[in-house]
Structure 1
Amino acid sequence: MEPYRIRPARLADLPLLPAIERAASELFRQTAYAHLVGSDDATRSFPHQPDYLTWVAVDATDAPVGLAIARPLANSLHLQELDVHPNHSRRGLGRRLIAAVADYAQSQGYTALTLTTFRSISWNAPYYTRLGFRALETDELPTDLQAIYQSEIEHGLPMGDRVCMRRELIEDA
């Protein structure tokens, strides 16, 4: 049996997710953004918002070890958060979580996935680029994505290195 699987989060999973997010944010201690570790911005996705959709990567005991949180926008599903506990990283769980979000988005008629992330951190924009996302120019941002970007500015995220990204979802022929 495969040691990990991806599934929609259950209500009982939700209290466990902040610990995964906090553990994953510890990786930022090795970057120019170490000051964000332990800040309110490190756990801005919680508590769970009612219109957000959450998937978890679970281990063989069905315990969550990773998460993806998405929220609907006008024509896209926005990946609000993606975290894998460092004890379970480098096993393809992030890629599998994104695939689950993309499959759901496509099944619901969304045309794209979007996200915001740090441009210069290897497990951020360069990683998402390898998974088919592309950086958007400011004039390409739809209104709802502009609002998310503005909210990040208001929460004090360092915007000089932030980027909005988009991955088109293509119907299989």
Structure 2
Amino acid sequence: MVGHGPSRKAEPRLARREDLALLPVIERRAGERLRGHRAYTVFAASPTPMAAFEQGMLQQLLWVVESDAGDVAGYLLAGVLDDDFHVQQMDVLPEQGRRGHGRALLRHALRQAVERGHCRAVLTTLSDVPWNADFYAGEGFRVWPRDAWRTGMHRVMAEEAAAGFPMELRVAMLREL
């Protein structure tokens, strides 16, 4: 009997220029999973600017993961917020979901954060969507209370409020590295 064996789990890699055009498509398609959620219209109206992807690529803070077929299945864009490693955006194509791509991207990025000397990772996310806050909690993140935020996180949350996010559903999360 011939079997196919376990599927190859691609290691995330730094994004290349030819990957950039795919990222807004992945973001938009992943965002469709939120259709019907109160934050959907905000996400749909404020996609990540191409300049942010380009900057992430140049700073080596943008990673992609490929599907078994070799196509880009998802990405993680990071930055630095105050002295913290900031997970800015992570998306995986819906048809590639639940295959470990998001987890692989996050774990890879956090290893890179440690190599860069960061002691903490931070992000903002939705508290009521299972593949958001619950996912990150399972990876060691905890809700970061507002009174402990640094200047940068106050600015990020103010920008999100100005964009129209339902802030009672937004949480900042932190993980010690």
State the TM-score, normalizing by the size of structure 2.
0.87
What is the aligned partner in structure 2 of residue 111 from structure 1? 119
Report deviation, 1:44: 2.7
> Judging changes above 3 Å, is the alpha-carbon distance between structure 1 residues 60 and 87 closer, same or farther for their aligned structure 2 residues?
same
| Structure of larger gyration radius | 2
2:110 corresponds to which residue? 102
Q: How does 1:44-83 map to 2 (within 5 A)?
A: 44-47=48-51, 48-50=53-55, 53-83=61-91
Q: What is the aligned-residue RMSD (CA, Å)? A: 1.7
Change (3 A) 1:3 1:95: closer
For residues 157-168 of structure 1, the aligned pairs below 5 Å read 157-168=165-176
Indicate the residue corresponding to 1:5 in structure 2. 11
Residues 26-41 of structure 1: pairs in structure 2 closer than 5 A: 26-36=32-42, 38-39=44-45, 41=46
**1:38 Cα deviation (Å)?**
2.9
User: Does the 8 Å contact 2:42/2:163 carry over to 1?
Assistant: no
Query: Which residue number corresponds to residue 17 of structure 1?
Result: 23
Contact 1:26 1:37 in 2 (8 A): no
Tell me which amino acid in the other structure corresponds to 2:148.
E
Tell me the SS of whatever aligns to 1:82.
Answer: strand
Identity of aligned residues (%): 33
Is the contact between residue 27 and residue 91 of structure 2 (CA under 8 Å) also seen in structure 1?
A: yes
CA distance in 1, matches of 2:107, 2:49: 20
Name which of structure 1's ranges 120-129 and 101-110 shifts more when overlaid on structure 2. Answer: 120-129
TM norm structure 1: 0.89
Q: Which blocks of at least 5 consecutive residues in structure 1 are unaligned?
A: none
Give the Cα separation in 1 of the matches to 2:155 and 2:39. 23
* Between 70-79 and 19-28, the greater mean CA deviation after superposition: 70-79
Q: Could you tell me which amino acid in structure 1 is paired with residue 97 of structure 2?
A: S
Match of 1:122 in 2: 130
Pair 1:87 & 2:92 matched: no
Count the aligned residue pairs.
Answer: 167
Alpha-carbon separation, structure 1, partners of 2:118 and 2:82: 8
Q: Deviations over 1:102-155 (max 9, x none)?
A: 010000100111100011111111111111100011111011111111111121
Question: Is 1:150 aligned to residue 146 of structure 2?
Answer: no
